[in-house]
Amino acid sequence: MGTMAGKAKHLIVISYDAFSQDHWEQASKLVNLSQLITNGAYTTNLTSVYPTLTYVVHTTMVTGVYPDKHGVFHNNPFQPFVREKDQRWFWYRSDIKVPTIYDKLKEHRMTSAGILWPVTGKASINYNIPEIRAIGKENQALKILKNGSPLFSIRMEKKFGHIRRGIEQPYLDDFTTMCAVDTIRRKKPNLMLVHLIDLDDAKHEFGTVGSEVEQAIIRMDRRLGDILKAVKEAGIWEQTTFLVIGDHGQINVRYKVKLNQLFRDNGLIYEENGTMKWRAYLQNAGGAAYLHLKEGDEEAKCLALNILQKAEQDGSYGIESLYSRQELDSYHAYSEALYMVEAKQGYCFDDSLEGSVVTDLEEYGIKYATHGFSPDKSDYRCNLIISGDRIKKEYPLGDVHMVDIAPTMAKILGIEFNHCDGRPLNEVFR
My answer on whether 293 and 149 are in the same domain is no
Domain carrying residue 293: 254-367
Q: In which band, very low, low, confident or very high, does the pLDDT at 67 lie, cut at 50, 70 and 90? A: very high
> DSSP assignment of 1-58, as one string?
-PBPPPS-SEEEEEEETT-BGGGHHHHTTSHHHHHHHHTEEEEEEEE--SS--HHHHH
Phi, psi torsion values for 271, nearest 5 degrees: -105, 135
SS (H, E, C) 192-250: EEEEECHHHHHHHHHCCCCHHHHHHHHHHHHHHHHHHHHHHHCCCHHHEEEEEECCCCC
- pLDDT for position 3: 52
DSSP 8-state class, residue 92: B
- pLDDT for position 30: 98
- pLDDT for position 5: 73
Q: Please report which helix (H) or strand (E) contains residue 400, including its range.
A: strand 400-401
Q: What's the Cα-to-Cα distance from 428 to each of 27, 45, 179, 344, 413, rounded to whole Å?
A: 21, 15, 29, 36, 14
- Residue range 98-125: average pLDDT? 97
Distance from the Cα of residue 174 to its chain's centroid: 19
Strand partners, 27: none
Query: Residue 46 pLDDT > 60, yes or no?
Result: yes
In a domain, 1, yes or no: no
Q: CATH number, domain at 359? A: 3.30.1360
In a domain, 2, yes or no: no
Contacts for 299 with CB less than 8 Å, ≥ 6 apart = none
Entry field: residues in the chain: 430
- Residue range 102-125: average pLDDT? 97
Burial readout 361-378 (b: 16 or more C-beta within 10 A, e: otherwise) = eeeeeebbbbbbbbbebe
Integer Cα distance of 410 and 418 in angstroms: 9
My answer on whether 35 and 171 are in the same domain is yes
Integer Cα distance of 52 and 249 in angstroms: 8
Q: CATH number, domain at 392? A: 3.40.720.10
Among 327, 348, 367, the domain boundary falls at: 367
- pLDDT for position 4: 65
Share of the chain above pLDDT 70, in %: 99
Integer Cα distance of 300 and 46 in angstroms: 38
My answer on whether 230 and 152 are in the same domain is yes
My answer on whether 47 and 160 are in the same domain is yes
Query: Residue 135 pLDDT > 80, yes or no?
Result: yes
Taking the alpha carbons at both ends of the chain, their separation in whole angstroms is: 26
My answer on whether 227 and 147 are in the same domain is yes
- Give the tens place of pLDDT for each residue, 318-376: 999 999 999 999 999 999 999 999 999 999 999 999 999 999 999 999 999 999 999 99
My answer on whether 332 and 190 are in the same domain is no
My answer on whether 304 and 360 are in the same domain is yes
In a domain, 4, yes or no: no
Q: In which band, very low, low, confident or very high, does the pLDDT at 1 lie, cut at 50, 70 and 90? A: very low
In a domain, 372, yes or no: no
Integer Cα distance of 86 and 307 in angstroms: 29
Query: Residue 2 pLDDT > 60, yes or no?
Result: no
- pLDDT for position 45: 98
What's this model's pTM, rounded to 2 decimal places? 0.97
409 neighbors 6 (Cβ within 8 angstroms): no
Q: In which band, very low, low, confident or very high, does the pLDDT at 114 lie, cut at 50, 70 and 90? A: very high
Query: Letter for the amino acid at 18?
Result: A
Q: Beta strands of 235-303 (E only): which ranges?
A: 240-245, 251-252, 255-257, 269-272, 275-278, 280-284, 288-293
- Give the tens place of pLDDT for each residue, 245-304: 999 999 999 999 999 999 999 999 999 999 999 999 999 999 999 999 999 999 999 999
Count of domains forming the chain? 2
What mean pLDDT, rounded, does the chain reach?
A: 97
My answer on whether 227 and 128 are in the same domain is yes
